[in-house]
Amino acid sequence: MTIWDWIHDFEEQAREAGDAQRVRLTTIHSQAYDHRQTDPDRMLSTLHEGRRLAMALREPWFVAFFDHWITETFIYYKDDYREVIDHAVRLTLEMRKPIFDQCPLRFGVYCNLVAAYLCVDPRGYARAIREALDYLATLVPPEGGDRYLLQARRHWFAYELGEFDEANRLALEELEMADGDPDRHTARHHEIDTLKALCWVAFRRHDWTALANHADLGEECARAMEYRYELSQFLLWQALIAAREGRRDEAKRLCRQGTHQMARLGQPPGESYYDALAAYHEVGGDLLAAWVVRERELTTSVGKGQLAYESQVRIKRVRLLRRMGRDINEEEAAAREAIAKVREPEWYLRDLERR
The answer to whether residue 108 sits within a structural domain is yes
pLDDT computed for residue 1 by the predictor: 78
Rounded Cα gap, residues 329 and 341, in angstroms:
19
Residue 325's identity, in one-letter code, is G
The answer to whether residue 20 sits within a structural domain is yes
Identify the CATH number of the domain in which residue 98 sits: 1.25.40
Q: Which residues, other chains included, contact 311 with Cβ-Cβ below 8 Å and sequence gap of 6+?
A: 335, 338, 339, 341, 342, 348
- Does pLDDT of 89 surpass 90? yes
Q: Kindly report the CA angle at 168 between 105 and 274, in degrees rounded to 5?
A: 85
The answer to whether residue 304 sits within a structural domain is no
Weakest mean pLDDT among 183-187, 279-283, 292-296: 183-187
The answer to whether residue 110 sits within a structural domain is yes
The answer to whether residue 106 sits within a structural domain is yes
- Name the band, by pLDDT with cuts 50, 70 and 90, for residue 267: confident
The answer to whether residue 13 sits within a structural domain is yes
Residue in 118, 61, 52 with CA at minimum distance from that of residue 85: 118
Mean of pLDDT values over 157-165: 97
pLDDT computed for residue 61 by the predictor: 97
The answer to whether residue 75 sits within a structural domain is yes
pLDDT computed for residue 142 by the predictor: 76
- Choose the most confident range, by mean pLDDT, from 14-23, 30-39, 105-114: 14-23
The answer to whether residue 287 sits within a structural domain is no
- Name the band, by pLDDT with cuts 50, 70 and 90, for residue 144: confident
Q: Are 305 and 338 in contact (CB under 8 A)?
A: no
Q: What is the pTM for the complete model shown? A: 0.88
pLDDT computed for residue 266 by the predictor: 84
In the chain, the percentage of residues whose pLDDT exceeds 70 is 100
Listing DSSP states for 90-124 in one string gives HHHHHTTSGGGTT-TTHHHHHHHHHHHHHHH-TTT
Domain coverage including residue 47? 1-120
Number of domains composing the chain: 1
Mean of pLDDT values over 78-87: 91
- Name the band, by pLDDT with cuts 50, 70 and 90, for residue 139: confident
